[in-house]
Amino acid sequence: MEKIVYAISFLLSSANYVVNLSIPLYLIYKFSAPPFILGVAGFSGNFAYTLFTYLFYRLKHKIHFPHFIIASILISFAYFLLPFIPSYFLFFFILFLNGIFYSRFWPSIQYFFSSNPINTDKYNLSWSSGVILGIFISGYLFKLNVIFPFFAGSFFAFLGFLLGKINCKNFKKYYEKLPEKIYIGKKLDLETKRIMFLNFINFFCIGGVFFLFPKLAKSISYSPSLISNIMTSLFLIRFFMFYILSKIRFEIKDDFFLIYLFDFITLLFTGIFKKPFLHLIFISILGITSAFSFRITLIKVIEKGYSTELNESIIGIGFFTGSLIVGILSQIFGIFKGFIISGFMVLFISGFMELFFKNDNN
């Protein structure tokens, strides 16, 4: 069954990213969407994802059924509908619903590993390789026809549903035997808070880049396929970093200043440079930082008995605040300055929080 879980994770992450990269391009193409609207697009689904993963965490919801099976078919249907939506409002509403569906999918998948956290390394490789495929084909499909990425996403999600449905009985039995979550009433320790905040910052940067970089790139005449290639480089680097990190053992250092500095450099130079090669280099840095933060956070959360829903809600907050804040700043100051200001914001907030955690520890 483990291989089935890896396959479903691969398919749904492919579905997610073949569509997500196309959403900004589609909104620009169909509605001539300004930066603020692109930020709202990123906000809609990620806000729903964050809200409902957190609600399930607060409700101390126990996963004794593989909800990812039902979620997969609902995600497939949502992606199929998106290109036929005639207005912003309905488009964002479908994205919001899809965020709810994903809030059941990923925590349910991750709960599979609750009895063996180290196997999350293979899980990380499976979903991150799906991201690479989705990002890579997105621009090419969009170039052929603007609705093809949505149909591809729907198809991938449907395949994930079929795999889950075929093995549904086995999954039910397996999930019923998994141990009860032990996080109930458990207060987060300082180490977990620090790595969760690090993960938040990295996904804040990815959210901003993912939803607003296509607008910046279109303003300097990058083609959809070039945009997808640049974004693919980020996730390709992340995949290789997941592999490297799975082969080494290391201790968490006293601070994460170097990682925060890399995040700052990425946003700063994305807003300064106007050359594809330079954008590829600096955006790819996020692949290194996000692989590190996601891996250590997921393993620590499962090892210490905390909720994967809480971890996923932190990731969702990063995604939707990143897309929304970079979108608002870009609307006010222009797309290039929006990235630059966001970079300084990340540097300032990260530095402040590191000092806060150190004082809290003392």
Which CATH number characterizes residue 141's domain?
A: 1.20.1250.20
Residue-wise pLDDT tens digits, 246-281: 888 766 666 688 899 999 999 999 999 999 999 999
CA distance 23 to 163: 27
Judge contact between 260 and 347, C-beta under 8 A.
yes
Q: Which residues lie below 8 Å from residue 55, measured CB to CB, with a gap of 6+?
A: none
Judge contact between 330 and 343, C-beta under 8 A.
no
Q: Which residues lie below 8 Å from residue 253, measured CB to CB, with a gap of 6+?
A: none
Q: How far is CA 124 from CA 121, 198, 213, in A?
A: 5, 18, 25
Q: Which residues lie below 8 Å from residue 263, measured CB to CB, with a gap of 6+?
A: 201, 202, 205, 285, 286, 289, 343, 346, 347, 350
Enclosing H/E stretch for 346:
helix 335-361
Q: How far is CA 337 from CA 87, 204, 273, 341, in A?
A: 29, 17, 11, 6
Q: What is the pLDDT along the chain (362 residues), one digit of tens a residue?
A: 889 999 999 999 999 999 988 998 899 888 888 888 888 888 888 889 889 988 877 776 555 667 899 999 999 999 999 999 988 889 999 999 999 999 989 988 888 887 777 778 889 999 999 999 998 898 889 989 999 999 999 999 999 999 999 998 888 888 777 766 544 556 778 888 899 999 999 999 999 998 899 889 989 999 888 988 898 899 899 999 999 988 887 666 666 888 999 999 999 999 999 999 999 999 999 999 999 999 988 888 888 877 778 888 889 899 889 988 999 999 999 999 999 999 999 999 999 998 888 776 65
Among 96, 2, 79, 103, CA closest to 41? 96
CA distance 198 to 83: 35
3-state secondary structure 73-120: HHHHHHHHHHHHCCCHHHHHHHHHHHHHHHHHHHHHHHHCCCCCHHHH
Q: Which residues lie below 8 Å from residue 84, measured CB to CB, with a gap of 6+?
A: none
pLDDT at residue number 341: 97
pLDDT at residue number 246: 86
User: How many structural domains does the chain have?
Assistant: 1
Residue-wise pLDDT tens digits, 227-247: 888 988 998 999 999 999 888
Identify the DSSP state of 352: H
**Token duo for residue 218:** 């279109």
pLDDT at residue number 159: 98
CA distance 362 to 351: 17
Cβ-count burial 267-277 (b if 16+ within 10 Å, e if not):
bbbbbeeeebe
Among 166, 184, 168, CA closest to 176? 168
Range of the domain at 334: 2-361
CA distance 107 to 91: 25
Q: Which residues lie below 8 Å from residue 3, measured CB to CB, with a gap of 6+?
A: none
Q: How far is CA 9 from CA 6, 192, 271, 324, in A?
A: 5, 25, 33, 27
